[in-house]
Amino acid sequence: MIVTVGNTKGGVGKTTMAVQLALARALAGRDVLVVDGDRQGSAQMAIAVRTEAGRLPGLTCVQYPDGPVLRAQVQRLATKYDDVVIDAGGRDSTALRAALILSDRLIVPFLPRSVDVWALADIAGLVDEADAVRDGLQAFAVLNAADPGASGDNAEAAAALADFPRLVLLDAPIRRRKAFANALGLGLSVAELTPRDAKACEELAALAFMVFGDQVNIKAD
């Protein structure tokens, strides 16, 4: 399956989520390719840290910030891997658009903040444009760095998704936890991090199940 973690808005935790999802699959025994579609190359850096540490299972990572190159190369590479996770966006880019053409599923992380909710219109618009060019893209949004506990902001942000019917809410929020950032810096899954953050592990497992599972649990409101 080809999954893109993407958003035209920056700072929503795309790279952290993409690498964590890729590692969750790798730890489940899948051969995973990570495609870094960002010139900054943070995903590639995190995976390089993992590789240098000799940590297994390994992840293969390639960086294609140029959309046409990403499209051509990932089309060739996708058949050689069980799963492909593309980290793309931060702005409207050729890489993000190429990823929207290629992917089976788009996961849009967003924060429970007004500016993030406003920015959903941009990525929803791009999904609409992609729909005019291809069939079958499944587009989901998921709360990232959500407030701890039962937060009114989390619920309001989730409810605001109703304005964008093309983005289906995945009811597997990732909360704001240092474990995710720390794990990324070490090229590790939160499941490999010590001391272990059990809640972070549970959240990631729930998200990975929904993203890669055959049956995606769609929250019915």
Q: By the criterion CB under 8 A, which residues form the site for another protein?
A: 67-68, 71, 91-94, 96-98, 100-101, 129-130, 132-135
The reply to whether omega before 112 is within 30° of 0 (cis) is no
- Cα–Cα distance measured from residue 174 to residue 108, given in angstroms and rounded to the nearest whole number: 12
Least distance in Å: CB of 92 to another protein? Answer: 5
Q: Which residues contact 32 (CB under 8 A, 6 or more apart)?
A: 22, 23, 25, 26, 59, 60, 81, 82, 83, 84, 85
Least distance in Å: CB of 66 to another protein? Answer: 9
Give the residue with the Cβ less far from another protein, 99 or 193. 99
Sequence-separated (6 or more) residues with CB below 8 Å from residue 16? 144, 180, 181, 184
Shortest separation between residue 77's beta carbon and another protein, angstroms: 18
Whichever of 37 and 187 has its CB closer to another protein, that residue is 37
Cβ closest to another protein, residue 21 vs residue 95: 95
Least distance in Å: CB of 1 to another protein? 18
Q: Which is nearer to another protein, 121 or 133 (CB)?
A: 133
- Which three-class secondary structure state does DSSP give residue 189? coil
